[in-house]
């Protein structure tokens, strides 16, 4: 008896492998646009958590050290970072923008990404700071929502709760 063809098990295994590849590889062909905003959100969450941890680790309040991140638009470029670690009232970035060097928690958003930020939907500059217990201060006192905007896409949000919990929120 000369049997040619595949067994049912072989066909099922091949279909499963093709299904796994379709789910994991096919979305990558859509381009990077859908991933950019998510990447920027993850980076901002990390910067906020780092700033919060620095505030909680440095409990000596006599040095007036700033634990805040400022959001602003300078020369058409969206920025977030720490313009001055000593003067908490300074919420402006130096100009020209090409002279600005981001520190460990700062980031200049390339205009190619078309990403912008705002705190509770308000116009920048805004700042989010933390006290020694990790609770939000300044423009985020009592908690706030940071919006990551990309034209023609869903707005992504970061929520900072009143007690300091920082998390991403995806609307259904």
pLDDT at residue 96 greater than cutoff 60: no
- The mean pLDDT of the chain is 77
Supply the pLDDT for residue 39: 82
Sheet holding 126-130, edge to edge: 107-108, 77-81, 68-74, 126-130, 136-138
Tell the residue number behind the tokens 């992504």, with chain if given: 156
pLDDT at 37 over 80: no
Give the closest residue to 147 by CA, choosing from 169, 117, 171.
117
The dihedral built from the CA positions of residue 154, 24, 27 and 47, taken in this order, carries a sign that is positive
Q: Where does the pLDDT of residue 146 fall: very low under 50, low under 70, confident under 90, or very high at 90 and above?
A: confident
User: What is the average per-residue pLDDT within 6-28?
Assistant: 87
Would the CA dihedral through 90, 91, 97, 100 be positive or negative?
A: positive
Element (H, E) at 74: strand 68-74
Domain 32-169 class?
alpha beta
Q: Quick one: pLDDT band at residue 107, thresholds 50, 70, 90? A: low
Give the residue ranges of DSSP H helices in the chain: 8-25, 33-57
pLDDT above 90: percentage of residues in the chain: 12
The domain segmentation of the chain, as residue ranges, is 32-169
Among candidate residues 37, 32, 27, 31, the one with its CA nearest the CA of residue 151: 37
Q: Which residues pair with 72 in a beta bridge?
A: 79
Confidence (pTM): 0.70
Helix, strand, or coil (residue 45) = helix
Give tens-digit pLDDT for 40-86: 888 889 888 988 998 888 866 666 677 888 887 777 777 777 766 66
């Amino acid at each position: 008896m000369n049997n040619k063809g595949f067994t049912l098990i072989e066909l099922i295994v091949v279909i499963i492998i093709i299904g796994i590849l379709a789910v994991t590889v096919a979305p990558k062909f859509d381009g990077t646009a859908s991933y950019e905003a998510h990447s920027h959100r993850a980076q901002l969450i990390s910067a906020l958590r780092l700033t919060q941890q620095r505030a909680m680790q440095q409990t000596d309040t006599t040095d007036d050290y700033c634990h805040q991140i400022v959001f602003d638009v300078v020369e058409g470029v969206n920025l977030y970072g720490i313009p001055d670690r000593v003067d908490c009232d300074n919420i402006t970035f130096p100009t020209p923008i090409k002279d600005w060097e981001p520190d460990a928690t700062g980031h200049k958003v390339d205009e190619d990404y078309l990403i912008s930020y705002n705190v509770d939907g308000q116009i920048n500059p805004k700042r989010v700071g933390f006290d020694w217990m990790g609770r939000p201060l300044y423009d985020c006192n009592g908690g706030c929502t940071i919006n990551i905007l990309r034209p023609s896409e869903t707005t992504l949000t970061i929520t900072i709760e009143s007690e300091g919990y920082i998390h991403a929120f995806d609307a259904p």
